[in-house]
Amino acid sequence: MSDAKATGGQKQTLVEEGTEFKGAMVSSCPVVVRGRIEGEIATPSLTVSTTGAVQGRAKVGSLVSQGEVAGEIDAETVQLSGVVRDATVIRAKSLEVKLSTEEGKMQVVFGNTDLLVGEDSVATNAKKTSVKPTPPA
């Protein structure tokens, strides 16, 4: 099935697996990352697949990540089920974390991360939660 059919004919920007983009990207349509983006991105919707990685600054309406994210992310809604690298800051009005399976165990992997969630997530008085990974048992 083509990506146009999968999105109901809606236009999208696709960074395919094996492609690396470095720089600033602004898109008025959703962005799907199967490869790697390093830099700044602004889009209404960002999807990071299991093979994808985004590092840098992202200002998005929604983020769905099954891959790897790192840097500073500002979003309305965030759904995470992949890897969040060290020194990552995520600001969102809503955050959903889905557990993934690896070796029969349910898990989500966070590096040293700051999560700011709620209506005032962009304001300086937002509740800040630092997530520090626990060593494996």
In contact, 70 and 78? CB cutoff 8 Å = no
Look at the alpha carbons of 29, 30, 36, 38 in this order and tell me if their dihedral is positive or negative: positive
Residue 2's pLDDT band (cuts 50, 70, 90): very low
Question: Would you say residue 4 lies in a domain?
Answer: no
Number of domains comprising the chain = 1
Place of tokens 């790897």: 68
Question: Would you say residue 6 lies in a domain?
Answer: no
Quick one: which of 18, 24, 108 has its CA closest to 33?
A: 18
In the predicted structure, residue 34 carries a pLDDT above the cut 70: yes
In the predicted structure, residue 117 carries a pLDDT above the cut 70: yes
In the predicted structure, residue 108 carries a pLDDT above the cut 90: no
Pick 132 or 28 by higher pLDDT.
Answer: 28
Question: Would you say residue 2 lies in a domain?
Answer: no
- Give me the count of residues in the chain: 137
Distance of CA 65 to the CA centre of its chain: 4
What whole-number distance in Å separates Cα of residue 70 and Cα of residue 61? 17
Domain that holds residue 18: 11-131
Question: Would you say residue 5 lies in a domain?
Answer: no
Between the ranges 91-95, 101-105, 116-120, where is the mean pLDDT highest? 91-95
Question: Would you say residue 137 lies in a domain?
Answer: no
* Window from 44-53, 84-93, 119-128 with minimum mean pLDDT: 119-128
Question: Would you say residue 39 lies in a domain?
Answer: yes
Residue 125's pLDDT band (cuts 50, 70, 90): very low
In the predicted structure, residue 88 carries a pLDDT above the cut 50: yes
What 8-state DSSP symbol labels residue 85?
-
